Amino acid sequence: MRYRIRHTTEYKYSARVANCYNLAYMVPRSSLRQTCDKNSISISPQPAFSNRQEDYFGNISHHFEIQQPHKNLVITAESEVDVNPQHSSLNMDFGITCAEAKQILAKSKSLDVLLAREYMLDSSMVRASDELREYAAPSFTDDRPFVSAVADLTKRIFTEFTYSPEATTIATPLSEVLQTRKGVCQDFAHLQVGCLRSLGFPAKYVSGYIETLPAPGTEKLVGTDATHAWISVYSPTEGWFEFDPTNDQICGEQHIITAWGRDYFDVTPLRGVIFGGGDNPILNVSVDVARI
Amino acid sequence: MSQTQFSSMPPLSLNYSAAAGRADEVFNEDGIAKPHWQQLLKSLQTMGSGTLAERHDKASRILRDDGATYNIYGDTKNPSRTWGLDLVPAVIGSEEWGVIESGLLERAELLNAFLKDIYGPRELVRRGVIPPEAIFAHGGFLRACHGIQTGGEHELILHAVDMVRTEDGSMCVLTDRTQAPSGMGYALENRTVMSRVLPSLFRDSHAHRLAPFFQRLRTKLASLSSAHDQPRVVVLTPGAHNETYFEHAYLANYLGFQLVQSGDLVVRNGFVWMKSLDGLSRVDVILRRVDDWYCDPVELRSDSQLGVPHLLEAVRAGRVIIANPLGAGILENPVFLKFMPAIAKALLGREPRLASVATYWCGQEDDMAYVLSHLNELVIKPTLRSNGLSSVHAANLSEAKRKELIARIKAHPWQYVAQSRLVASHLPTFVGGNLQPRPSILRSFAVASDTSYAIMPGGLTRVGTDEGAFLISGQVGAQSKDTWVISSEPEVSPVDGAGADAPIVPNEAQLISLPSRVVENLFWMGRYAERAEATLRILRTAFILLNGEDPVSESSRRYLLAAVTEITGTLPGFKNCSPELLANPEAELLRLAKDPNMFGSVHYNLTAMLRSADESKELLSSDTMRVINDIRDALDNLETNLSGDDGSAPEEALDPLVTALMALAGLTHESMVRGIGWHFIEIGRRTERGVQTLKILEGLLIDVLPEHDQNTLLEALLLSVETLISYRRRYRARMSVRQVLEVSMLDATNPRSVRFQFDRLKKYINALPRVKSTNAELSTEEKSILEADTRIRLTDLSLLCERDSSDKTRPQLKTMLGQLQKSLADISTIVSDKYFDHKAGPQQLVRRNWED
């Protein structure tokens, strides 16, 4: 499937911003199942300096610096991307068991496994804990096929947690999400990553877009698509698989990847510092994912 | 080693024998003192204990006057301690040093290659030489720095190593310091002091000089930038509260580089600039003393107050070079000590010459099992060095603490290593009038040079506080020593023949512009010094009059004390106070002198003055530093001196402070170059003196009083503005409001008059650098000054002395004093708006919790 994506971020500040320094992840990267061959980013006001580059994880990052005083900041990213579904042969009932997966991860010196071990470690926003391990453990019995266990965990998060944008902010710790059983896609992705790492499996945080389809017979509205987050998990024999705990899905053509990292902090769509700006800026994000 | 007596000497007052069962630097395996030690100990014995003690005092005095301090974290009351130097040097023979030096060169080269691999291909992880977690689980691995390489021979510019000599006589590395290694400035200061207090001993020793090492450091830093012929190099410090701030200022001065804090730097258009009085100046190279993680709040630690936003981006674009590079802190991971032989084999093809201390990593199962079963023999260390965590000797822990430690290790095994406890070889140290054996640790320094590294001959030696101590650190009060690498023949010195360690001539262009922060601190140093002086004088006046033999009427007392409150800005204080307080003001007056927490007290103002002086330390002469230290000491003793225990009057106890402040003013006047810095101190001083004089006049002269009371207040006024004697000489004993106003306001020859202050302000402000305007219009500050100056010159004294219809106040005087005060406030605001940097701190676009 080929998409054209338009992602607009607007900050309205209550006071003048004298200057700002930012880092944006707003352009889809390429991966095994997707190719982004056209993209551009426009920033208003005009930056004094900007630079595009590939980061540590292979994501596309934009650094920019604005030296003009402003009260509005608008960033528009436009891309075209070809997306394929994941491994067509993915069959949940076969493949290695959880116990085997653990064993290989511990012993193997293969390059893939050595590099995947980075994603078993704590990161600044996701830390392994006994609580997370206890929550996840029932899905991961030793002789269960590993991929099927991950799918089960995905389903459990989907059914046992309530999607609630009011319940959390980006600063809400994982332990609180686990306790209140409420959150948004970022929280659920962090939760699942945390569960997998607590059990000793490598997992990444993936940020991107999801195409939403209109109800049958209705016209698709502009701006209803959204930035989204899900996870990728490593099976030592079959590689990385993406799961979406917010929608209980194995990610497919409708999941378009922007960037991946250890957690949200590595791939925050827009971060940085501003001088001035007052309190409580108003943030508007709109995303359009159109098939072409 | 058995108990050994230093036998070839007659038993004089200074004896040295090794501690039983401890390795000792002085003696060889047979218990005979090594030749170079024999020579040194002989000289020390000839000198005798008394002379050595006297030289030691002299050294302490020089260190204090140079401002050599080491700040102790968490000691808020008295944060800086004078650097401790023991006068018995650590001596190393040059042959022996040659072996150590080649090991250090190899280690620096090895770590340089390793650093290139870590932020490049990571072959050592891919090939399984080191476990992935050794890098990926360490907080010093900065993913944002991946792929940033200068492409030159050296990524690692500076490398320091802490090492000890073990029982078997070989050197053993305890830690590598690659983040922002400290200590080389202290080593240089130790050397400078030694050559001053023990000149002949030092000269005869033929110790290798340190200056060539610093020359190489300077050359290397300047050569890092390919941008221009005269690159601007700055030293980035976290600020005056950092434990090694003395060294930052000292090194910056010695090398001739500007000392800056992160607030002095800004990234604009992708380049790094220093904000200075003449605008922005490009910065090409940064010698950083700020930990890498804190350097850029956009990409690194977002809650950092010490960072420059987008600094990393400027590095990435190759527009600024930082030494050591951001990310270099990863090399300090003690886990690598365990893998060093394997790393050396992979990168150099051979085992390293220098051994490292036996290290066990809890992140590996076998090691963890060993650590848990041998806990009492080990030192447990966190893999990431930070203020909150330090090494623990498990043997010293209570059962509960031990369990807690084990639980912590098990929860985060990657984050702990354990190392064997080493007892370092001992060095003779002058303690309690004799030479005592103390365990020693040596920090050596390497700087990138040509195609390899240059090693400082010797380094910084530190000795423990007790015989057999395991822990040696500046943070627990250890002493340091100069380290002498002794050659058998005198070193061939370069033709220039400059003294032992002559400073390098600074590049003029580099020092012309000062960071705005520095001039702002000088301005406030001037203001606070003057404010403290005015406060001291009015307090002294109050004590003298109230305790004097002439009784002071209640009304005069009320006016005088209210003026004290006004001048110090400590309302309500004595303003409209109760009759009880008025009758017994002493306690409140003492509080105004000594209470450090009371805004406006002498103590408060002087502390603020000292803080400003610390921030601009590198511009002050050593004589000035000595006076500053005297003020610090007088302040520490203020409480005791004011207690009256020795029967002295409070006004006498204040005298030393007044004298020290006068000395400071005199030195500023007599021995400081009339540069921008000097002008700002003086502008601060003149502004404050003007304000204070106007306040006293306002407090004591506006209301009309009966003659006797008026005379008391006039005398108080003259006394506190230091004009009583010249007034008496001119007018005899006759007190009159008119004449007092003439002397204290209008007399252009009286350095304490209001007019004098405006005259000076006009001159100094005209001398400041400014953007030349094309038209003939005066700048706002020039207009304010001209207006005030004219107002004073046109003053009609009779008019000022006029009373209102009810004969109670002098309304014209009141208006005039108010207008002049406003002019001074305006001038101060304009100057600070124009020349100081008032940018508000940054805020993060996305805020989240930091858990670490």
Least confident of A121-130, A187-196, B305-314, B626-635: B626-635
Test B848 with A170 for CB contact under 8 angstroms: yes
The answer, for A11 touching chain B at a CB cutoff of 8 Å, is yes
pLDDT of amino acid B630: 86
Asked whether the beta carbons of B217 and B447 are under 8 A apart, the reply is yes
3-class secondary-structure state, position B306: coil
Considering only the beta carbons, identify the residue of B310, B840, B846 that sits closest to A65: B310
What gap in Å lies between CA B523 and CA B520, rounded to an integer?
A: 5
Write out pLDDT tens, residues A99-130. Answer: 999 999 999 999 999 999 999 999 999 999 99
Instruction: Say if B413 falls within a structural domain.
Output: no
pLDDT of amino acid B157: 97
**Closest chain B residue to the Cα of A273, Cα to Cα:** B844
Neighbours of A93 (CB within 10 A): 8
Q: Phi and psi dihedrals of B692, rounded to 5? A: -65, -45
Show residues of chain A in contact with B298, CB under 8 Å. Answer: 21-23, 63, 271-273
User: How many angstroms away from the CA of B248 is the closest CA of chain A?
Assistant: 28
Q: Which two tokens stand for residue B170?
A: 């070989």
Residue B837 has pLDDT above 50, yes or no: yes
For residues A51 and A173, membership in a common domain is answered with no
For residues A235 and A158, membership in a common domain is answered with yes
Residues of B with CB under 8 A from a CB of A: 125-126, 128, 132-133, 136-137, 143-144, 146-147, 267-270, 297-299, 302, 309-310, 313, 316-317, 412, 414, 839-852
Write out pLDDT tens, residues A145-159. Answer: 999 999 999 999 999
What gap in Å lies between CA B191 and CA B390, rounded to an integer?
A: 30
- Which residues partner with B222 through β-bridges? none
For residues B74 and B117, membership in a common domain is answered with yes
Confidence of residue A234 (pLDDT cuts 50, 70, 90): very high
pLDDT of amino acid B385: 79
Share of chain A above pLDDT 90, in %: 81
Instruction: Say if A92 falls within a structural domain.
Output: no
What gap in Å lies between CA B156 and CA B323, rounded to an integer?
A: 8
Confidence of residue A90 (pLDDT cuts 50, 70, 90): low
Mean pLDDT within B34-56: 90
Test A53 with B144 for CB contact under 8 angstroms: no
Confidence of residue B415 (pLDDT cuts 50, 70, 90): very high
Residue range(s) defining the domain that contains residue B208: 69-357+422-494
Instruction: Say if B612 falls within a structural domain.
Output: yes
Provide the number of CB pairs (under 8 Å) joining chain A to chain B. Answer: 107
Instruction: Say if A248 falls within a structural domain.
Output: yes
What gap in Å lies between CA B366 and CA B348, rounded to an integer?
A: 27
For residues B183 and B320, membership in a common domain is answered with yes
Residue B6 has pLDDT above 90, yes or no: no
Of the candidates B834, B817, B820, the residue with the CA atom closest to the CA atom of residue B781: B834
Give the residue with greater pLDDT, A258 vs B82.
A258
User: How many angstroms away from the CA of A32 is the closest CA of chain B?
Assistant: 21
The answer, for A277 touching chain B at a CB cutoff of 8 Å, is yes
For residues A258 and A282, membership in a common domain is answered with no
Of the candidates B444, B453, B443, the residue with the CA atom closest to the CA atom of residue B216: B453
Q: Which of B310, B414, B850 to mutate to test the interface with A (most CBs of A within 10 A)?
A: B310
Instruction: Say if A111 falls within a structural domain.
Output: yes
Least confident of A203-207, B185-189, B393-397, B584-588: B393-397
3-class secondary-structure state, position B755: helix
Test A51 with B317 for CB contact under 8 angstroms: yes
User: How many angstroms away from the CA of A65 is the closest CA of chain B?
Assistant: 7
What gap in Å lies between CA B765 and CA B683, rounded to an integer?
A: 7
For residues A282 and A141, membership in a common domain is answered with no
Confidence of residue B672 (pLDDT cuts 50, 70, 90): confident
User: How many angstroms away from the CA of A143 is the closest CA of chain B?
Assistant: 25
pLDDT of amino acid A50: 94
What's the CATH code of the domain at A49?
A: 2.60.40.2250
Instruction: Say if B555 falls within a structural domain.
Output: yes
Mean pLDDT within B472-492: 72
Residue range(s) defining the domain that contains residue A45: 2-83+268-291
Question: Which 19-58 residues of chain A touch chain B by CB within 8 A?
Answer: 20-23, 48-49, 51, 53, 55-57
Show residues of chain B in contact with A21, CB under 8 Å. Answer: 267, 298, 309-310, 313
Write out pLDDT tens, residues A250-265. Answer: 998 999 999 999 999 9
For residues A165 and A252, membership in a common domain is answered with yes
Confidence of residue A170 (pLDDT cuts 50, 70, 90): confident
Mean pLDDT within B768-776: 62
Mean pLDDT within B568-589: 88
For residues A202 and A237, membership in a common domain is answered with yes
**Closest chain B residue to the Cα of A48, Cα to Cα:** B269
Instruction: Say if A89 falls within a structural domain.
Output: no
The answer, for A12 touching chain B at a CB cutoff of 8 Å, is no
Peptide linkage before A45 cis (omega within 30 of 0): yes
Write out pLDDT tens, residues B428-449. Answer: 999 888 999 999 999 999 999 9
pLDDT of amino acid B387: 53
Test A273 with B270 for CB contact under 8 angstroms: no
Write out pLDDT tens, residues B93-118. Answer: 999 999 999 999 999 999 999 999 99
pLDDT of amino acid B833: 79
Show residues of chain A in contact with B317, CB under 8 Å. Answer: 51
User: How many angstroms away from the CA of B237 is the closest CA of chain A?
Assistant: 22
Confidence of residue B548 (pLDDT cuts 50, 70, 90): confident
For residues A144 and A9, membership in a common domain is answered with no
Q: Which of B124, B126, B268, B313 to mutate to test the interface with A (most CBs of A within 10 A)?
A: B313
Q: Is B739 exposed, middle or buried (0-12, 13-18, 19+ CB in 10 A)?
A: middle
Neighbours of A248 (CB within 10 A): 14
Arithmetic mean of pLDDT over chain B: 86
For residues B466 and B435, membership in a common domain is answered with yes
Give the residue with greater pLDDT, B493 vs B704.
B704
User: How many angstroms away from the CA of B465 is the closest CA of chain A?
Assistant: 39
For residues A250 and A279, membership in a common domain is answered with no
For residues B754 and B708, membership in a common domain is answered with yes
For residues B581 and B468, membership in a common domain is answered with no
Test B845 with A63 for CB contact under 8 angstroms: no
For residues A27 and A38, membership in a common domain is answered with yes
pLDDT of amino acid A167: 85
Write out pLDDT tens, residues B589-635. Answer: 999 999 988 899 999 999 999 988 888 877 887 788 888 888 888 88
pLDDT of amino acid B819: 93
Show residues of chain A in contact with B137, CB under 8 Å. Answer: 121-122
Test A170 with B136 for CB contact under 8 angstroms: no
Instruction: Say if B706 falls within a structural domain.
Output: yes
Confidence of residue B507 (pLDDT cuts 50, 70, 90): very low
Considering only the beta carbons, identify the residue of B136, B309, B846 that sits closest to A21: B309
Write out pLDDT tens, residues A21-61. Answer: 999 999 999 999 999 989 999 999 999 999 999 999 999 99
User: How many angstroms away from the CA of B120 is the closest CA of chain A?
Assistant: 10
Question: Which 204-223 residues of chain A touch chain B by CB within 8 A?
Answer: none
For residues B529 and B485, membership in a common domain is answered with no
Show residues of chain B in contact with A171, CB under 8 Å. Answer: 847-849
The answer, for A111 touching chain B at a CB cutoff of 8 Å, is yes
Asked whether the beta carbons of A74 and A129 are under 8 A apart, the reply is no
Test B299 with A268 for CB contact under 8 angstroms: no
Write out pLDDT tens, residues B207-257. Answer: 999 999 999 999 999 999 876 678 899 999 998 778 788 889 889 988 989
Residue A215 has pLDDT above 90, yes or no: no
Looking at the structure of chain B, the number of domains it has is 2
ipTM: 0.95
Peptide linkage before B629 cis (omega within 30 of 0): no
For residues A79 and A108, membership in a common domain is answered with no
pLDDT of amino acid B71: 65
Considering only the beta carbons, identify the residue of B128, B136, B310 that sits closest to A118: B136
Considering only the beta carbons, identify the residue of B128, B144, B842 that sits closest to A275: B842
DSSP-assigned states of every residue in chain A: -EEEEEEEEEEEEEEEEEEEEEEE--SPPPBTTEEEEEEEEEEESPPSEEEEEE-TTS-EEEEEEE-S-EEEEEEEEEEEEEE--S-TT--TTSS-BHHHHHHHHHH---HHHHHHGGGGS--SS----HHHHHHHGGG--TTSBHHHHHHHHHHHHHHHSEE-TTT--TT--HHHHHHHTEE-HHHHHHHHHHHHHHHT--EEEEEEEE--PPPTTSPPPTT-BEEEEEEEEEETTTEEEEEETTTTEE--TTEEEEEEESSHHHH-SEEEEEEE--S--EEEEEEEEEE-
For residues B697 and B595, membership in a common domain is answered with yes
The answer, for A99 touching chain B at a CB cutoff of 8 Å, is no
pLDDT of amino acid B506: 45
Residue B322 has pLDDT above 70, yes or no: yes
Give the residue with greater pLDDT, B545 vs B77.
B545
Mean pLDDT within A254-279: 94
For residues A107 and A189, membership in a common domain is answered with yes
pLDDT of amino acid A34: 94
For residues A103 and A223, membership in a common domain is answered with yes
Length of chain B: 852
Residue B845 has pLDDT above 70, yes or no: yes
Instruction: Say if B2 falls within a structural domain.
Output: no
3-class secondary-structure state, position B188: helix
Of the candidates B677, B555, B653, B553, the residue with the CA atom closest to the CA atom of residue B602: B653
Give the residue with greater pLDDT, B549 vs B469.
B549
3-class secondary-structure state, position B272: strand
User: How many angstroms away from the CA of B794 is the closest CA of chain A?
Assistant: 45
Arithmetic mean of pLDDT over chain A: 92
What gap in Å lies between CA B800 and CA B790, rounded to an integer?
A: 15
Asked whether the beta carbons of B536 and B605 are under 8 A apart, the reply is no
Looking at the structure of chain A, the number of domains it has is 2
For residues B441 and B567, membership in a common domain is answered with no
Considering only the beta carbons, identify the residue of B133, B267, B848 that sits closest to A171: B848
Test B310 with A55 for CB contact under 8 angstroms: no
User: How many angstroms away from the CA of B309 is the closest CA of chain A?
Assistant: 6
Least confident of B350-359, B542-551, B593-602, B840-849: B840-849
